[in-house]
Chains A and B, each alone.
Chain A
Amino acid sequence: MSAWKFKVLSVVLSGGLLVGGSARSEVEIEYWQYFFDARVTAMEQLIGEFEAENPGIKVSMTHFPYADYRTKVAAAIPAGEGPDVVQLFYGWLNDYVAADLIQPLPNDAFPPGQIEAEFFPMVSAMREGDNYWALPTAVRSLALFYNTALFAEAGIDAPPQTLDELIETARALTKTDAAGNLTQVGITAGMNAQDHHWFREVLVRQFGGEPYLDDYTTVNYNSEAGVAAAEFYVGLANDHKVTAFGFMDEPQAAFKAGRAGMHIDGSFRIGSLNKTRGLKWGVAELPAGPNGTQSNYSSYWVNAITTKAEGEKYDAAVKFMQFVTSDNAMQVWLDVVGELPAKPSVGLTEANANDAVFGPFIRGLAYANTTKFANESAQRQILIDMVQRIDLEGQPAAESVAVAAEAEQKLLDEYYN
């Protein structure tokens, strides 16, 4: 090697060493979540507050598109890269624990008894053995969105309280053209949106059934109640003609465009509806069933400490976990993202529970159920297909429900065995 080449090389190398070796006095931990504008903003605010409270700790956040999230997490942690604290969907917990990606939360900082006393009951799904493995900052539930302008136009003064009222209200809101084609639907319908949750955890229960048994390992909606629920749901389109599947492509699009009187959706929809110009809407609790049963579906994202975090990073990660599950963080999350606090002590404050928008969702949490999914998109597809068979192929509801239950049971058996 000639002399000048050697010099260049040595300069480059020593430069690299200087940059890499610069000493840091503080602990830096990495936090990963998927990209959703409001969630990133809220987390930036929380990280700012956390760093101000804990001068020795720096938190750097990385976010990815949802589609790549799982792949990247799975590739990074075993390689010793990636996050110390990671966000995951509650339904992924089993996979993450089995793959040794996350470690249990320490019992002294997160006593299970205290968690069970403080958090909403569905969070108990995050306990395995003696420890909690992950905790949410916020939870989500369903409610009935309604278009107040269309309600006023149709002369309806209050959202429906029961399923029978739901049909009557929807009928008053439905409009057709001269040829009988729907131009405005009373209520949106589509199992591809949140309706599959409404069917599973709400309608089946309201018609007197129990959708799953044995901690969600046995499908149980192939019953009179399940068939009645399916007939009610498909009947909205086929008997009462107050909706059509696929109307305006997607249910939320129809509601946003002011072409749907009512729409069942999750609390995460609030933000985007707020941004929709000219849309005037209200929120109500989901209508009660024939004998007054109320039910709701709740889901949540949790944070957990990965197996990568060790030593002082582990201690910092524990502190960060405590911070993001604090009452203060939950209020920030509610204000910025619009997702509901995971603790009744924050959620059920006078102001939050009576809030015109958040109130119905928060009150719904009190009677919500959380489906333990093995594979949410595949289980959703089974219900989409169930409705398609009735709607497009004219299969009797009882047969279609039986086929769906069998397919879902097969999927659950494969997952749990």
Chain B
Amino acid sequence: MYRNLTIQQKKIVWAWAFLALPVIFYLVIRFYPTANAMLISFQSWNLLGDRTWAGIENYARLWNDPVFWQVFRNTFVYLIIGTPVSLVLAFVIAYHLDKLAFMHGFLRVLYFLPFMTTAVAMAWVWRWFYQPIPIGFFNNTLGSFGLPQIEFLRSTTLALPAILAPAVWAGLGFQVIIFMAGLRAIPRSYYEAARIDGVSDWTVLWEITLPLLRPTIVFIVVFSSIGFLRIFDHVFNMTTGDPGGPLNSTKPLVLMIYQTAFADFNMGYAAAQTVVLFLVLLGVSLLQLRILQDR
């Protein structure tokens, strides 16, 4: 049968033969579990017994769960503070680092190091920084100047920013590198033309650099937004004693999913939360791509 095919058809057969491996991989490793999670979200399952049909019960429970709404709000606070702060910081650092020749490589390594460090180790170091006297670095420093202690992680208002700070710091190195690559990709001739025209630095930044960085900015915004919406390691490791911080003040959606699934063994409810997270991620990403890319 194969012999009777035209060259063009044979090419297609071979293309699919080679494509089969990644396609099967994706179907089995990605799409099947995703579809299964969506199915479980309509079921009730404690991992041990049989799965039973639950209809929209899990979603109804989610809607009526005050913890879920608190967690939902926390997740967006991570996003709304984290993304702009890290974007601006990364750009400012990259912009100045790009102009700096002295110790350029060394500084770049310093900024990139946190990104290469395990989040778990970093979270624990910061957790100890934040401790009260006598072991916390920040509070010991405050204490030695005679200032009152700050309850970083044991406060319902400060705990979230305290956890967000190392998370932003950890991702900064990567964003700086991407921004620098973006800056290097802008043709020198534009800047030379601008200089000949006698344009101010501010105008160069505003009219040349930023507009030409748009693809880079879009990438970083989408990428870091997804990162902050999925934040888990930092929060989990900095608050293991009381997971999610005092009175759930730092709990993000992923941590709630984890607890529902692997502490409460309520797989259906956890799957429903996962579906919500998926929809949020999808929505936010599409929205950002639309707003930032077009025009």
Contacts and interface: CB of A to CB of B under 8 A. Distances in A.
Interface string A247-277: 1111000000001000000000000000000
B120 to A, nearest CB: 14
A154 B180 CA distance: 61
Interface string A335-368: 0000000000000000000000000000000000
A177 B241 contact: no
Interface in B125-145: 127-128, 131-135, 143
Contact of B246 (A74, A375, A388): A388
Nearest to A193: B241
Contacts of A74: 47-48
B247 interface: yes
B19 interface: no
Interface string B229-255: 000000000000111001100000000
Interface string A228-260: 000000000000000011111110000000010
A81 to B, nearest CB: 15
A70 interface: yes
A152 interface: no
A96 interface: yes
A95 B46 CA distance: 9
Nearest to B155: A392
A70 B264 CA distance: 11
Interface residues of A, number: 35
A71 to B, nearest CB: 6
A381 B154 CA distance: 15
Contacts of A99: 46, 48-49
A67 B261 CA distance: 12
B35 interface: no
Contact of A181 (B149, B259, B263): B149
B133 A101 contact: no
A77 to B, nearest CB: 9
Interface size class of B (residues with CB under 8 A): 20 to 34
B265 interface: yes
B158 to A, nearest CB: 11
B153 interface: yes
B49 A392 contact: no
Contact of B49 (A71, A98, A244): A98
Contacts of B127: 249
B294 to A, nearest CB: 45
A389 B246 CA distance: 9
A248 B146 contact: no
Given A378-B264, A392-B155, A95 B242 contact: no
B137 to A, nearest CB: 13
Interface of A: 67, 70-71, 74, 95-96, 98-101, 177, 179, 181-183, 190, 192, 244-250, 259, 375, 377-378, 381, 384-385, 388-389, 392-393
Interface of B: 46-49, 127-128, 131-135, 143, 146, 148-149, 151, 153-156, 241-243, 246-247, 259, 262-265
Given A74-B47, A378-B264, A385-B247, 18 more contacts: A70-B48, A99-B46, A101-B48, A177-B133, A179-B146, A182-B133, A190-B241, A192-B242, A246-B153, A246-B154, A249-B127, A249-B131, A249-B241, A250-B241, A259-B134, A377-B264, A389-B247, A392-B246
